[in-house]
Amino acid sequence: MRRPNIVLILADDLGYSDIGCYGGEIRTPNLDRIGRSGVRLSQFYNTARCSPSRASLLTGLHPHQTGIGVLAGNGAPGGYPGSLNDRCVTVAEVLRDAGYATGMSGKWHLSGPLWEPADSWPTRRGFADFFGTLSGCGSYYDPATLYRGEVDASAETRDPQFFYTDAITDHAVEFIGREAAAGRPFFAYVAYTAPHWPLHAPQEDIAGYDGVYSAGWDELRARRLDRLRAEGLLGAESALSAPDPAQPRWAAAPDQAWEARRMQVYAAQVERMDRGIGRILDRLEASGVSDDTLVVFLSDNGGCAEMLPLGDPEEFRAKRHIVPAATREGAELRVGNIPGIDPGPEDTYASYGPAWANLSNTPFRLYKRWVHEGGIATPFIVHWPAGGLTAGRIVRTPFQLTDVLPTLLAAAGVDYPREYRGRAVPHLEGRTMVPALRGASVPDTPLFWEHLGNAAVRRGRWKLVREHAGPWELYDMDTDRSELTDLAERRPDLVAELATAYQCWAQRVGVISREEAR
């Protein structure tokens, strides 16, 4: 039997309710089509931040086991190495050895060295074909660390039509078409940077959202929750969380036209990504392999509340090595969220802020970096016409990133190795989701998270979570998915039990506490 092709699509900083089939007002017809005709998960979780989520997604391990507990970049002497280590094996390495063509297009963000080839580069971790960036983010018009294979491709950005989202799509479409024509099963990892800041989008895409966000974040959050319930993804257990108390209500917000413009650009970024996904789906169809291709879509973390600049603009540039001093035409770059300066053009470098991120994460609270629901809940779509999936099904069993690699290998009929290149590799931390995707009932299993001291464990209906070094909070996910009523004081026995389970997990996978890292 021919093995299925696999297309794994990852969005960057996309919130739980941004796309249409998860309640959003953003136009995403291609994701909506495969979401509603495929399988959607209502309780799938990422790992709260860019690099850790990518490490877990590609290895089936918790990020701490891979060398990336915070972000790419060496955290020595007290932190994580910040580069994908040689003790893990990637899905690309396993599938390549099983006869798959392996290609990646987009953001890597799993390697410390950005300027010289290293053992943690995608070309050395299973991807025979690579086009993309090594850094965490950058201009959509002139991204830094852009490579084809291991060759600097930055000259390509001199084309005045260059836009990174489109370039990622172009390469993915080319790879899929070539490998489908050759008759080999292929694995395409498509890692968009959209809609991560900076807010960059063509003017015609931005104009398509004129007036859409003038109602403001309060009204739009309520509308999104109504649509999430109409889609059958959430129910009465998911009440609308209170607005972020640090942000004004929309009626009192200054500079409303400028605020609406920020969200317009964000929406335009998402729609352009969806347009690219449509081109990928069209190429699968034109190549005659659509039915035999497993397509997965998700986001690496919840909506991002970060405000730019993060400190002094020059220090920001120096630390990140990603922000050019000027545009390709030589104009000075305007870094930051400045009322009156509309984001979108190449000479701007802005983010959309906490209040709009709160909209992205509807109905949940908190954001990227936190392991409350707003930071880790993601849309998760699986489409595989020939795979025996239950079309239109919504899976409510909780799963997380460690479950993706086992699922892809199970679908491909490929075994996970006990050792790789002469060295033992850790056992997979997750389990296959295939039975659940095909309509079978599967038991829950404990899930764990840690990022920057934010920690959580979920077992069945119960979730224990804390913020940084704060006290543990306990929530009943069956009745309070939005984490509004803390039951820790009422159930100290359960808090102690789950906290012990968390500590055992943290010690086993190599979590470095914030105290140890100092």
Q: Which of 307, 297, 310, 302 lies closest to 241, judged by CA? A: 302
Element (H, E) at 504: helix 492-509
Lookup: tokens for 26: 């953003």
Are 92 and 187 in contact, with CB atoms under 8 Å apart? yes
Q: Which of 213, 216, 310 lies closest to 266, judged by CA? A: 213
Q: Which of 177, 175, 198 lies closest to 188, judged by CA? A: 175
d(CA 287, CA 281): 10
Give the ranges where 138-255 is alpha helix by DSSP (H).
164-182, 203-207, 216-230
Q: Active-site residue 50, yes or no?
A: yes
Element (H, E) at 354: helix 353-360
21, 50, 137, 304: the active-site residue: 50
Q: Which of 451, 420, 460, 428 lies closest to 517, judged by CA? A: 451
d(CA 355, CA 25): 16
d(CA 456, CA 373): 10
Output DSSP code: residue 280.
H
Q: Active-site residue 200, yes or no?
A: no
Q: Starting at the edge strand that comes first in sequence, how are the strands of the sheet with 462-466 ordered?
A: 447-451, 454-459, 462-466, 473-476
Q: What are phi and psi of 318, to 5 degrees?
A: -65, -40
What is the CA 152 to chain-centroid distance, rounded?
Answer: 26
62, 64, 109, 200: the active-site residue: 109
Lookup: tokens for 407: 């699922």
Output DSSP code: residue 402.
G
3-state SS, residue 218? helix
3-state SS, residue 517? helix
Are 402 and 280 in contact, with CB atoms under 8 Å apart? no
| Catalytic positions, written as ranges | 50, 109
